[in-house]
Amino acid sequence: MNKIRVMTVFGTRPEGIKMAPIIKVMENTSEIENIICITAQHRRMLDQVLNLFQIEPDYDLNIFKPGQSLTEITVRALEGLEEVIIKVKPHVLLVQGDTSTVFAGALAAFYQKVKIGHVEAGLRSGNLYSPYPEEANRKLTGILADYHFAPTKTNRDNLLKEGYPGDRIFITGNTVIDALQYAIKKDYVFNLPLLNQLDYNNKKIILLTSHRRENIGKPMENIFSAINEIALKYEDVEIVFPIHLNPKVREIANRIFDGNPRVHLIEPLDYEPFTNLMAKSYLVVTDSGGLQEEAPSLGKPVLVVRRETERPEGIEAGTAKLVGTDFENIFNEMDILIRDKREYEKMANAVNPYGDGKASERIVDIILRYGLK
C-alpha cells in the first residue's frame, strides 16, 4: 500500500502547540508516513513544546538568530525547506497558522508543486498591518493552499468571500482545543514555587502576555502602564507575566513594572504549567492569538489589548473584549472586572467557539481522503 507522505513544517511556539495533536494522530495512522521538519524560527520556546509533546523532528533547519528580521526568517526558512522538500518529496505539506515560517513553508512547497494543507485557515482581521505581518502571511498562504482547514464557520465564510472553492474549505475546529485537553490537570503542581504560593482563592491573579510586533513601542508602554496602575490600586490583585523572549518586550516590561511588588515577571512557561496557570487565574490580558482561544474554553474573561482581532468568536460569545491599546480604556475595563462581580460573571462563562477537541482527527481524515489525489 502506498502511504501518504505528509511533511509537517513549523517553527514557533504556537505552531508547535497546535501542530502537536495532529502529529500525534498521524503517528497512529498506518496509512500516513509523517515527516517532521522544524525551521526553529523560535529555539528555546519551540524546544519547550517539543519536549512536552515528545516530538522528535526528522529535520531541524535551526534558522533562529537573536534579533532576526522578517526577511532573514523568510529567506533562511525558504532556502532550508527547498532542500528538504526535494529530498522528502511529500504528497502533502502541512503548515499551521500565520507566522513567517508558515508563509515560507507554503511558498517552498508551491515552488516544488507539492500540495499544501493550511491548518487554521481563513482568519482575517481586515487590516494588513494588524496583526503584522500575520494578516498578510495568512492571505499569502491561503492563495497557495490546496486544503483550507478552517477552525470556524466565520473562517470558512471569510475564505468563500475571497473566492476560494467551497469544496476545499473544511470546518474542523481549532487544534488548540485538542492540545488543551492534553495539558489541563486537576490539582496541578507547578515547578516554579511562586506559582504554588500564589493565593488563587483570595487574590485576583491576572495573567498577562504581550508580544505583538505592532504593539512594541508606545502601545505596549500604554498596556503595561495601565496594568501597573491597576496592580498599585488594588492590594488583592497580582499580575503574573511570563515574558516572551523578545528583548524589546523585556526592556519595556522591566522598565514599566520596575519595583512593583504585585507584578511577577517570570520566564516563558512550558505549555502545561502555562495553561494550568490560566485555568487558576481570575482574568487574562493579552495580545496573543492562541490565548484568545484558550481562555474562553477555560471560562476566563479575556481583555484583548489590540485594535482589531481575527478571532471575533470569543467576543461574540461574550468571554472576550477588544479593549485597544490606550491607557485609559485598558485601565477602566480592568477596573470594572475587578470591582463589579456581575460584569465579571457575565464574561466568565466557559464557551467553546473554537472547537470540540477533535479537530486533529478531522484534519487527518481529510488528508486520508484527498492526500494521494
The catalytic residue positions are 98, 120, 134, 211, 213, 244
Q: What's the min distance (Å) between Cβ of 166 and ligand UDP? A: 27
Binder among 219, 289, 301, 357 for ligand UDP (CB under 6 A):
289
Binding residues for ligand UDP, how many (CB under 6 A)? Answer: 16
Q: Give the separation between CA 278 and CA 282, rounded to whole angstroms.
A: 8
Q: Give the separation between CA 296 and CA 291, rounded to whole angstroms.
A: 9
Binder among 144, 184, 245, 351 for ligand UD1 (CB under 6 A):
245
Binder among 14, 80, 142, 151 for ligand UDP (CB under 6 A):
14
Q: Give the separation between CA 267 and CA 139, rounded to whole angstroms.
A: 32
294 near ligand UDP, judged by CB under 6 A: yes
Residue 142, CA distances (Å) to 49, 97, 106, 133 in order: 26, 10, 9, 14
39 near ligand UDP, judged by CB under 6 A: no
Segment lying near ligand UDP (by CB under 6 A), choices 101-109, 115-123, 282-290, 364-372: 282-290
Nearest residue (beta carbon) to ligand UD1? 99
135 near ligand UDP, judged by CB under 6 A: no
Segment lying near ligand UD1 (by CB under 6 A), choices 176-184, 244-252, 255-263, 303-311: 244-252
Helical (H) or strand (E) element with 94: strand 92-96
- For 197, the grid coordinates are 504560593
Phi-psi region of 120 (alpha: psi -120 to 50; beta: other; left: phi over 0): left
Residue 52, CA distances (Å) to 62, 227, 271 in order: 19, 31, 8
269 near ligand UDP, judged by CB under 6 A: yes
Q: What is the CA radius of gyration of the chain?
A: 20
Q: What's the min distance (Å) between Cβ of 274 and ligand UDP? A: 4
Count of beta carbons in the 10 Å neighbourhood of residue 87: 10
- For 244, the grid coordinates are 516572551
Binder among 13, 24, 138, 262 for ligand UD1 (CB under 6 A):
13
Residues 6+ apart with CB under 8 A from 270: 48, 51, 52
271 near ligand UDP, judged by CB under 6 A: yes
Q: Which is nearer to ligand UDP, 12 or 115 (CB)?
A: 12
Q: What are phi and psi of 243, to 5 degrees?
A: -80, 130
41 near ligand UD1, judged by CB under 6 A: yes
Binding residues for ligand UD1, how many (CB under 6 A)? Answer: 23
Segment lying near ligand UD1 (by CB under 6 A), choices 163-171, 179-187, 221-229, 245-253: 245-253
Q: Give the separation between CA 189 and CA 35, rounded to whole angstroms.
A: 34
User: Mask 194-233, x = binds ligand UDP (CB under 6 A)?
Assistant: ---------------x-x----------------------
Q: Give the separation between CA 179 and CA 360, rounded to whole angstroms.
A: 9
Count of beta carbons in the 10 Å neighbourhood of residue 101: 31
User: Mask 64-83, x = binds ligand UD1 (CB under 6 A)?
Assistant: --xxx-x--x----------
Omega before 312 within 30 of 0, i.e. cis: no
Helical (H) or strand (E) element with 59: strand 59-60
261 near ligand UD1, judged by CB under 6 A: no
Q: What's the min distance (Å) between Cβ of 46 and ligand UD1? A: 6
- For 84, the grid coordinates are 528538504
Residues forming the site for ligand UD1 (CB under 6 A):
12-14, 41-45, 66-68, 70, 73, 98-100, 133-134, 211, 213, 245-247
Residues forming the site for ligand UDP (CB under 6 A):
13-14, 17, 209, 211, 242, 268-269, 271, 274-275, 288-291, 294
